[in-house]
Amino acid sequence: MWCMIMSMTCPTCRHRVNSNSGEVLSSLPTYARAAYPVKSKYALNKNSHIGQSATSLFDLLMPTCGNGDLCSRLLCQAMNRSYLQRVEDYCSFYTMGEKEKEGPPPHVEHHGYYMKAYPPAGDGIRNTYDAASSSTHTPWKISDHDRHIHEIQKVGCQSIFAQDHTHKVTDNYYKKNGLGSFTLWDCANENGEIASAVLVPSTKTIHFAHAATALTRRPTFTPVAMYSDAWPAKSDFWSLLFDPLHGRLGLFHYIQRLTRTLKKNHVDHFRAVNALLNCTCHCNDEDHENLLKALKEGSLSAKCSDDEISELKATKVFKQR
């Protein structure tokens, strides 16, 4: 949308700013700021601003996918759909009633003109998002980057935490080779909240030791047990940070260490794995009883007898249901 922008000057320091700059918008009350359809953190010093409907989509997609090219294509498609809708409205208006006799007014000739306004490319959207996430021109005067850091630093632990290396996270990183980001070391507390997440070039202890040591400086981070995918490896390091600390191997990795040694082609392989899971895992009693009742009544499929339910328990269908 086109708009008329006023330039304002401070009477004291003679500092000149545009009325639609992020510095001005962030200082306005909410009802006045809402008159301009652009978030204050995205009101950067550029020739054009992106509306809230598009930037809200950026905030949703960019942290997980980081795909600026996708956002650029979505903007182009939105402009094309809007143009086609206006053409359809224009043509249909002059084909109704008396307007049909008058005919539509002359339009701009196609040849010799071209569209000068176009959405930014993928790299431009990525740079815009990075600048907006680091901008302090927000109603709370703190950037999204710093706010997210403070939220993570506030996470504590009173009983159990888990640490792991996640390789899939770095697949979407932009220029990850230049950053040296081979994997991401993360730590989560008993509530599933992320207490620390750092990029590391390898899974060696020396590369995440600084981040792990920083957890000990939090007064609210006092765990008594830890789950790891490689326990008892690196147990000496963790005993230096938290003493006493009980280490445990994660349930998934515990089962993997056993099942990987079994022969998958053996005739009793599936039966042995199911017996192992029944000894290790416990179903929720309420859900288990509801499933047995549904199978006997036939609300999920055909009615099943006790013998058929016993055979069904040894299959993946029972776990899925």
Whether 315 is covered by a domain: the verdict is yes
Beta-carbon contacts of residue 86 (< 8 Å; ≥ 6 apart): none
Q: Does 147 reside within a domain?
A: no
Which range (36-40, 84-88, 173-177, 184-188) has the least confidence? 173-177
235 and 288 in a common domain: no
Nearest to 255 by CA among 279, 239, 232: 279
Decide if 274 is inside a domain. Answer: no
Regarding whether 181 and 229 lie in a shared domain, the answer is: yes
Query: The domain containing residue 302 runs over which residues?
Result: 282-320
Q: Please tell me whether residues 122 and 193 are part of one structural domain.
A: no
Domain-embedded: residue 120: yes
> Do residues 215 and 297 share a domain?
no
Same domain membership, residue 170 and residue 115:
no
Number of domains in the chain: 3
* Token pair recorded at residue 179: 């950053």
| Residue 311 covered by a domain | yes
Q: What tens digit of pLDDT does each residue of 112-147 get? A: 666 666 778 888 888 889 899 999 998 888 999 999
Decide which of 229, 245, 261 is a domain's last residue: 245
In a domain? residue 258: no
Does any domain span residue 266? no
* Last residue of one domain, picked from the residues 221, 245, 269: 245
Q: Is residue 273 part of a domain?
A: no
pLDDT tens per residue across span 229-272: 888 888 889 988 988 889 988 888 888 888 888 888 888 888 88
* 67 and 123 fall within a common domain: yes
Residues 34 and 93 in one domain: yes
Q: How far is CA 95 from the centre of its chain?
A: 48
- Averaged pLDDT, 27-56: 87
